[in-house]
């Protein structure tokens, strides 16, 4: 079977995993890391850098890198979004031709789906290096509260990266699958997912391979970056008065403060105090000799927790709301599963323990749970064994706008998906022969407080009938949250499907050219990786040979059937490895390396 992977495309970090002998495992990056920073950039020479290298470049040249772009994917550009972006990211955001958000990095204007495709492409290359052969099928996770536009954009990014999406899976559901499998847990679980940019909570019932989401909710504007922003505010207040204004206006200085704040926050998860030492803050564009200043300070864990209080309070408010929607109390929850880097913060763990009256479950790394769960689901979808069943819910209420600006609900939030609903509307006419049925997403009963997804426009409706024409509208929500809408003129039977106006996807020709660019890059990198594999594999064999000699010796001194069996297996793999070298078969080399690693510690 072709290898399949699960990808957690995170705001701050991403990870890729696969199922290995029934167990989900992280695929390390080619640089040997388990997580890849979700950062891309371009060096001064124009070379593309992704992940760790981009993060390092960002320390030196913040204007050459783009972190946290997931915050804006699939969204429409607006001045409010531009203002919000200024507070959290170092790059300018711009409007694209379809009203989508683009960013400017290292002098290039890029669609966000291209940025995500570069990240996905890197994870795909890591997986290909791991398997020694092409990988094209993946389950990709998205925050539960991602809307239609954000899901479409994620699919578009996958298309540009040359990945076939087996399914988009909600992140908390993925995490629950990983915890469920690793801990053999059955019962009522709550997933508390606090990442870099968003906060999601889901309540699930897990029984004999059936994962039933009862309710889900979140806050799309609450994440680790907001905790960092609190520290940045505190730092800015300490900048000497003379320089404060220049520092807050200077992108390079603000990015330095953000990086330092994020590092201090991590330190405070381990230690009770973090020291911050910042140089060259001020106006980097000018040349006055005293335009830059330094800042040396210390932040204690206690004070950071006080700074964070308004944010942690919001986390618990979301938990209360989701529990209420699931008609459960905190005490009914039998396992609390933590996901996202921010849940390493001791205060978050303490709050969760106090609120639910039990400590969170362990056994799965909170940074890796989502990717591991995605790998479990990917393997299930690819093999079609039917051992697990996933029942997810609609994450937003879907409505039709009726006269008077009210939204008539067809599919309420937290309905199990797939879901379908129909209703008859009398939308009146635009002109003589046209009827428009606007479709909204959101929780308000007023359409101006919801997001408009698009309109169904029915032309050629019956003109003979002077009365209003009854139009039957049907909503179908797929099991991964994609909506299709159909409207039928009940008098004539003329039907129309939804045209999503708010869609921010790129033109087919742009997608095509970006896909070609990405494919050319991947091919070039893939060749380099192949050369690397051909060079390193003989060293792996040498090491395994030395190890097998030691094993043989110890098996002679302490004979046992187990020791004999390991020696036999390693020898067989060595023989396979030598054949692979002769044939230049990278897939076989990767397989032998993986199997050897399982038997003996190679690194
Ligand atoms: P995610 O989106 O799940 O990758 O979460 C990333 C967020 O977790 C970022 O805001 C990180 O700064 C934060 N984070 C990662 N590790 C830690 C840590 N040890 N302590 C506190 N926050 C962390």
Tens-digit pLDDT profile for residues 207-220 = 988 899 999 988 87
- Mutate which of 51, 220, 223, 265 for ligand 1? The one with the most ligand atoms within 8 Å of its CB, which is 265
Please state the separation of Cα 58 from the chain's center in Å. Answer: 21
DSSP 8-state class, residue 533: H
Arithmetic mean of pLDDT, 514-543 = 94
Q: Please, which residues bridge with residue 219 across strands? A: 199
Closest by alpha carbon to 565, among 598, 602, 599, 603?
A: 599
- pTM for the predicted model, two decimal places: 0.85
Taking CA atoms only, the protein residue closest to ligand 1 atom 8 is: 341
Q: Is 490 helix (H, G, I), strand (E, B) or coil?
A: coil
Are the beta carbons of 1 and 356 closer than 8 angstroms? Answer: no
Is the shortest distance between the CB of 171 and ligand 1 below 6 Å? Answer: no
- What pLDDT, on the 0 to 100 scale, is given for residue 603? 54
- Rounded distance, CA 460 to CA 487, Å? 13
**pLDDT at 602 (0 to 100):** 59
- How large is the average pLDDT for residues 356-376? 94
Pocket-testing residue among 34, 341, 349, 372, ligand 1, by greatest number of atoms within 8 A of Cβ = 341
Mean pLDDT of the residues in the chain: 90
Residue owning the nearest CA to atom 21 of ligand 1: 266
Sign of CA dihedral 348, 351, 352, 358: positive
Residue 207 a catalytic site member: no
- List residues bridging with 391 in a β-sheet: 212
pLDDT of residue 144: 86
pLDDT tens for each residue of 454-463 = 888 877 766 5
Beta-strand ranges (E) seen in 107-208 are: 108-111, 137-142, 164-170, 187-194, 199-207
Q: Cβ(196) to ligand 1 under 6 A? A: yes
Q: Which atom of ligand 1 is nearest to the CA of 340?
A: 3
Q: Ligand 1 pocket test: which of 342, 347, 372 has the largest number of ligand atoms within 8 Å of its C-beta?
A: 342
Does the pLDDT value for residue 256 go beyond 60? yes
Q: Phi and psi (nearest 5°) for 378?
A: -60, -45
pLDDT at 197: 81
200 is catalytic: no
Mean pLDDT (whole number) for 220-238 = 93
pLDDT recorded at residue 134? 95
Q: What is the pLDDT of residue 89?
A: 85
User: How close is the Cα of 367 to the center of ligand 1, in Å?
Assistant: 8
492 versus 330: which is more confidently predicted?
Answer: 330
pLDDT of residue 513: 96
Nearest atom in ligand 1 to the alpha carbon of residue 224 is 10
Q: Is 341 in the pocket of ligand 1 (CB under 6 A)?
A: yes
Determine what percent of the chain is predicted with pLDDT higher than 70: 96
Query: Is the C-beta atom of 345 inside 6 A of ligand 1?
Result: yes
d(CA 179, ligand 1 centre) in Å: 19
H or E element: which one contains 560?
Answer: none
Give CA–CA dist 32/130, Å, rounded.
11
Cβ–ligand 1 distance for 269 under 6 Å, the answer: yes
50-64, 332-346, 497-511: range with lowest mean pLDDT: 497-511
Instruction: Give the pLDDT score at 87.
Output: 77
Does the pLDDT value for residue 501 go beyond 60? no
For residue 200, pLDDT over 60 is answered with yes
Q: Residue 304: CB within 6 Å of ligand 1?
A: no
**Cα 338 to averaged position of ligand 1 atoms, centre (Å):** 12
Asked whether the predicted pLDDT for residue 46 surpasses 90, the reply is yes
pLDDT tens for each residue of 74-88: 988 999 999 988 877
Give the alpha-carbon dihedral of 183, 185, 189, 191, to 10 degrees. Answer: 20
C-alpha 588 to ligand 1 mean position (Å): 37
Could you say which of 8, 100, 147, 226 is catalytic?
A: 8
pLDDT at residue 465 in the model: 55
pLDDT greater at residue 386 or residue 127: 127
pLDDT value at position 504?
A: 60
Q: What is the 3-state secondary structure (H, E, C) of 288-308?
A: CCCCEEEEEEEEEHHHHHHHH
């Amino acid at each position: 079977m072709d290898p399949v992977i699960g990808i957690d495309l995170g705001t701050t970090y991403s990870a890729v995993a696969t199922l290995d002998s029934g167990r989900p495992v992280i695929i390390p990056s080619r640089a040997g890391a388990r997580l890849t920073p979700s950062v891309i950039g371009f060096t001064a020479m124009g070379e593309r850098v992704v992940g760790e290298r981009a993060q390092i470049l960002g320390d030196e040249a913040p204007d050459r890198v783009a972190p946290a772009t997931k915050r804006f994917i699939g969204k429409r550009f607006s001045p409010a979004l531009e203002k919000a972006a200024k507070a959290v990211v170092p790059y300018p955001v711009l409007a694209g031709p379809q009203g989508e958000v683009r960013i400017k990095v290292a002098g290039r204007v890029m669609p966000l789906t291209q940025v995500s495709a570069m990240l996905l492409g890197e994870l795909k290359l890591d997986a290909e290096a791991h398997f020694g052969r092409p990988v094209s099928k993946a389950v990709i996770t998205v925050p539960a509260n991602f809307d239609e536009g954000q899901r479409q954009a994620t699919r578009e990014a996958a298309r540009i990266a040359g990945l076939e999406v087996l399914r988009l899976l909600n992140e908390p559901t993925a995490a629950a699958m990983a915890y469920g499998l690793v801990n053999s847990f059955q019962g009522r679980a709550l997933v508390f997912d606090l990442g870099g940019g968003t906060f999601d909570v889901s309540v699930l019932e897990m029984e004999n391979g059936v994962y039933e989401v009862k309710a889900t909710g979140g806050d799309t504007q609450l994440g680790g970056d907001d905790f960092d922003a609190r520290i940045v505010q505190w730092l800015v207040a300490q900048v000497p008065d003379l320089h404060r204004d220049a520092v807050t206006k200077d992108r390079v200085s603000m990015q330095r403060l953000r990086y330092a704040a994020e590092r201090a926050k991590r330190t405070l998860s381990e230690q009770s105090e973090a020291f911050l030492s910042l140089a060259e803050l001020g106006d980097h564009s000018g040349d006055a000799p005293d335009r830059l200043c330094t800042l040396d300070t210390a932040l204690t864990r206690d004070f950071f927790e006080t700074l964070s209080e308004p944010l942690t309070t919001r986390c618990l408010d979301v938990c209360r709301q989701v529990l209420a929607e699931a008609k459960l109390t905190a005490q009914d929850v039998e396992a609390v599963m933590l996901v996202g880097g921010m849940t390493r913060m001791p205060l978050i763990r303490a709050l969760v323990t106090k609120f639910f009256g039990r400590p969170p479950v362990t056994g799965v790394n909170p940074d890796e749970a989502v990717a591991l769960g995605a790998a479990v689901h990917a393997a299930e979808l690819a093999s079609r064994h039917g051992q697990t069943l996933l029942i997810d819910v609609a994450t937003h209420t879907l409505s039709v706008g009726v006269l008077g600006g009210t939204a008539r609900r067809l599919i309420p939030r937290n309905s199990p998906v797939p879901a379908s609903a129909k209703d008859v509307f009398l939308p009146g006419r635009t002109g003589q022969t046209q009827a428009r049925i606007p479709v909204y997403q959101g929780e308000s009963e007023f359409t101006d407080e919801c997001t408009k997804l698009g309109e169904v426009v029915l032309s050629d409706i019956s003109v003979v009938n002077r009365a209003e024409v009854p139009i039957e509208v049907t909503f179908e929500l797929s099991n991964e949250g994609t909506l299709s809408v159909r409207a039928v003129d009940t008098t004539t039977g003329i039907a129309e499907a939804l045209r999503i106006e708010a869609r921010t996807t790129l033109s087919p020709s742009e997608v095509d050219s970006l896909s070609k660019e990405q494919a050319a890059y991947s091919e070039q990198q893939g060749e380099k990786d192949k050369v690397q594999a051909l060079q390193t594999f003989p060293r792996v064999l040498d090491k395994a040979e030395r190890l097998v000699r030691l094993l043989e010796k110890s098996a002679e001194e302490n004979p046992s059937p187990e020791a004999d069996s390991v020696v036999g297996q390693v020898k067989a793999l060595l023989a396979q490895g030598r054949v692979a070298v002769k044939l230049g078969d990278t897939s076989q080399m990767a397989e032998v390396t993986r199997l050897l690693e399982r038997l003996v510690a190679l690194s």
